Structure 1
Amino acid sequence: MSHLRLSRRLCPFRPYSRSFAAISSNSPPPSLNTVGPYQVFDRNAKMIQRDNAARRQGGAKSRTVDYVRDEVAERMLDRFLDIKRKFGTVIDLGSGPGHFSKLLETDKVQKVIMLDSSEATLNRDPDSEFEVEVERLRGDEENILQSVTPGSQEAIVSCLSLHWVNDLPGSLVQIQKALQPDGLFLGAMFGGDTLFELRTSLQLAEVERDGGISPHVSPMTDTRDISNLLSRAGFTMLTVDIDEVKVAYPSMWELMEDLQDMGEGNAVIGRRNTIHRDTLAAASAIYKEMHGSEDGTIPATFQIIYMIGWKPAPTQPKPLERGSGKVNLKDVL
């Protein structure tokens, strides 16, 4: 577990299914598709939020809140380097400005294709910050096969982007189809305990002040479901593990402002676009009372689920048939 004690007001830091969303008062009206999987998120609203965040002050504010994504990208890289294989091309799905891609080196990967639905976020940082060759491709993370030929990719990675996908099982199936046989999928996404402190504080404050609650934090994927989803999508040799990143903030207000600058505003369909300031003040007091630290700061927990899966291939190792063992377990014990 990592504890990052920071706020962008206090000190800079650079080492963030279903995941979190911050309060938003100016999101566009929600749109509900009537065809396809159930729509949880307004994808158009999310794209606009991320574009605006990346353009604010020429991207300067967006860069100051990269700390969680950069930390998770480094932990993802450790897992990537454990795979003893060199890759010609890797797709970075939902790449953002390239938190993971910037860490890649030419002795491991020759080229990275950064695919993201937010054009401003995709082009926020210059090519000089990357060591490997970079190609930027604007596309829909929910429909990767619109941008990628099936069976064409050696590896696909995704660093903290799948939490805004409406049809996670369908997206995993598309990723599997886009891979070559024995192709790699490496991902990281937010788990069910992400921002539980903020969620509970807002719910208690709204019940007290407004007599009911509205969704302000996105529904989350249960960590126990990830292995089943990967298996259903056709991946083999699965590896799933969970970690946490905790960040300390002066108060709930700095946390919510940082979430906005990350482009993580509320995009749940049916959300309430405004929340009374006295309700927010009550939530801030509840947050500090229930979760505050002795030094006066408040913690924010980001639970991270890391997942590795491989597309099946005849060359992959397979378990021995049941009953083929030649050593009796009683003898070993």
Structure 2
Amino acid sequence: MTETGPPLIFDAQRRAARLARSERRIGEADFLHARAAENAVLSLEATLREFPVAVDLSAHPGPFAEALAASDAVGRVGSPRPVGDRSDRAAPGARPLEIEAGSADLIVSLMTLHWANDLPGALSQIRRALKPDGLFLGTLLGAGTLKELRAVLTEAELAERGGAQARVSPFADGFDGAGLLQRAGFALPVSDVDRLTVRYPDLLALIRDLRAMGETNVLAGTIRPLTRPIIARAAVLYAEKYGEADGRIPATFEIVNLAGWAPHESQPKPLPRGSARTRLADALGVVEHGRRDN
């Protein structure tokens, strides 16, 4: 019997090349990474615990270290240590983490996991690297990200070529976040979605930012380059469908924030089924009617 692994959605080599290019330009468009780092640090400020051994698996580790340094939580968190090389950050979970099992108090992975071919597997590796009762904080782009760009590129390519390829990555649904953490073995999983709209003067300005971030298309397989007529048509469609009164165009981004703990016996446990001592009708303050037989 032939063993099959997770589907190959992203090209890791192409992603590594995009990351290498973005390392020189990320300062031009680091607002998503900065916002993700701020979200993670806010979670740490609300968690009155010490995390002596901290690991940073982010695609661009700098923003988290900077946000932590300016936070009240800095004295409770060890200096975040980047792990792995660019190829590890380009394909999270593809190779074993270079972290001893059960050795980290805190693992942070910002703006990286949406490029994982095996997201549950990548999360499971992180959970195994944590000490019992260790904390994971992660962010990834969610399903609503670049919905406008996805729509106009598809329509423009269909019109120019009679067929269209996927040009924007398939991002995870934010509502699935807690379930993904639970599947990977995390306790007390929490997920929420931070939505923001960024306004650009035109489509080319948006594309420049995506290139600076390293967030352009790395889907696996042969990708036909977009021609100038396709891009020009997409720019017109974007302005027609989504343009605002001042001529600028909006781009939607969703940052899915994840938090989960490595299991530990001290953590709250759900009550066993059937152990409740209060009827649901009493808790809801409603009158319970008996079954009526016809």
2:65 aligned partner: 101
1:308 to 254, 259, 283: 259
TM-score (norm 2): 0.87
Q: Deviations over 1:186-221 (max 9, x none)?
A: 111111110000000000001111101012111121
Q: Using the alignment, how far apart are the partners of 2:192 and 2:80 within structure 1?
A: 25
Code of the aligned partner of 2:136: F
The correspondence for 2:207, drawn from 231, 234, 256, is: 256
Contact 1:53 1:263 in 2 (8 A): yes
Rounded Cα–Cα distance in structure 1 between residues aligned with 2:192 and 2:31: 21
- CA offsets 1:89-146 (integer angstroms, 9 cap, x no match): 2111124142112222431212211135328xxxxxxxxxxxxxxxxx9896324634
Q: Higher relative CO (CA 8 A, sep ≥ 6), structure 1 or 2?
A: 1
Point out the more displaced range, 75-84 or 197-206: 75-84
Q: 1:83 aligns with which of 34, 47, 51?
A: 47
Normalized per residue, the structure richer in helix is: 2
The unaligned stretches of length 5 or more in structure 2 are 286-294
For 2:222 and 2:152, the matched residues in 1 are separated by: 17
Distance in 2 (CA, whole Å) between partners of 1:139 and 1:270 is 17
Matched-pair contact (CA < 8 Å) for 1:144–1:175 = no
Q: TM-score, normalised by structure 1?
A: 0.77
Distance 1:169 1:324 in 2: 32
C-alpha displacement at 1:328, in angstroms?
5.2
Q: Which residue of 234, 238, 256 maps to 1:283?
A: 234
Mapped to 2, the partners of 1:156 and 1:303 lie a distance apart of 22
CA drift of 1:329 comes to 5.4
1:273 CA displacement:
4.2
Over the matched positions of the two proteins, sequence identity in percent amounts to: 37
Relative to structure 2, which stretch is displaced further, 258-267 or 315-324? Answer: 315-324
1:321 and 2:285 correspond: no
Mapping 1:160-175, distance limit 5 Å: 160-175=111-126
Q: Indicate conservation of the 8 Å contact 2:57/2:110, yes or no.
A: yes
Q: What letter is aligned with 1:93? A: L
Residue 226 of structure 1 aligns with an amino acid whose one-letter code is: G
Q: Which residue of 2 aligns with 1:14?
A: none
Q: Does 1:37 find its partner at 2:6? A: yes
| Other-structure match for 1:47 | 16
1:237 aligns with 2:188: yes
Matches within 5 A, 1:207-226: 207-226=158-177
Deviation per residue, 1:295-332 (Å, 9 max, x gap): 11001111111111111111112123334444555555
Q: What letter is aligned with 1:73?
A: A
Q: Structure 1 unaligned segments of length 5 or more: list them.
A: 1-33, 120-136
Q: 1:240 Cα shift?
A: 1.0
- On the 8 A contact 1:169/1:233 being kept in 2, the answer is yes
1:138-153 pair list within 5 angstroms: 141-143=92-94, 145-153=96-104
1:68, 1:245 within 8 Å by CA — same for their partners in 2? no
CA contact (8 A) 2:130 2:262 kept: yes
Answer whether contact 1:116 1:141 (CA < 8 A) is retained: no
The Cα RMSD (Å) is 2.2
Residue identity matched to 1:294 = A
